[in-house]
Amino acid sequence: MRTVLILLLLFFTSCSRIPQPAPYAFSEQQKMQATHHWDVLASDVANQINNQLILSDYIDRAVYVKTTCGSDATPCEQEETTQFNEAFRDLLITRLVSFGVPTSIEKKATDIEVNYKVQVVYHSSTRRTLAPGTLTALTAMVSVFRDASFTVKLLALAAGLDIANSTSPGNGHYEVIITTSTVTDGKYLFRTSDIYYINDPDFWQYQNAPTGKTIQMVSGKISKHKLSFTM
């Protein structure tokens, strides 16, 4: 058995010609699961905008929060905004006013624009997170069998991995990137991007409704209809 392991090791070593993939160091990423979390983000962004206006000596300049869809320069059409877009704009305006930032109801030529963009990211793979200490505990469990046969050690390792996989939390398939910026005189004055996990069933709250076509059979003929989704 030991000879077989050595031969396998030599085989894989000789075939390897590229760097091996390595995971990032363990870190944490917040998950949005309530409108309160939207308000927390709005408060944090409003605070950063207020601080930047003070540092840039624009404390008396009014800002205008513009709803955007897809890009900073693209305004949202009627009924095109998502639940998050509408709520975040209202929450951000409320927080800006509470910080004492002059905030316009309608856009004026001298106003500093506040734009925000939401990007939904979908991962097709199932991703899990091993909490710190899991691998250490797994190693300790396997080391108990140090005097056992090679087969028993493999079985212990497999069982430990099954336990680790079943107890590690699933991260779901969706994340969102929320970018907020202030623009004046054709330049970015402030810009921040925040990344969050979201629950899979909630992705539609952040994603603009897609428009496409469906094929429907009518009296033996194929009829194409434009399909739009509204939430």
**pLDDT digit string, tens, across residues 14-60:** 555 677 777 767 677 888 889 999 999 999 999 999 999 999 999 99
User: Cβ(205)–Cβ(216) under 8 Å?
Assistant: no
Q: For residues 187 and 115, is the Cβ–Cβ distance under 8 A?
A: no
Torsion sign across C-alpha atoms 157, 162, 167, 168: positive
What's the confidence (pLDDT) of residue 30? 83
Of 45, 88, 95, the C-alpha closest to 68 is 88
Residue 68 burial (10 A CB sphere; 0-12, 13-18, 19+): buried
Q: What is the pLDDT of residues 121-174, one digit of tens each?
A: 988 866 555 555 544 555 554 455 555 565 555 555 555 555 545 444 456 789
Of the ranges 101-105, 109-113, 226-230, which one carries the lowest mean pLDDT score?
226-230
Asked whether residue 95 carries a pLDDT value surpassing 90, the answer given is: yes
**What are the tens digits of pLDDT across the range 174-190?**
999 999 999 999 899 99
List pLDDT tens digits, range 198-212: 998 888 888 865 544
Contacts of 156 (CB under 8 A, 6+ apart): 141, 142, 144, 145, 148
pLDDT of residue 181: 94
Residue 83 pLDDT: 86
The CA distance from 214 to 36, in Å, is 37
The contacts found for 81-87 with CB under 8 angstroms, 24 or more apart, are 81/208, 82/118, 82/204, 82/205, 82/206, 82/207, 82/208, 82/209, 82/231, 83/205, 83/206, 83/231, 84/38, 84/118, 84/205, 84/206, 85/116, 85/118, 87/35, 87/38
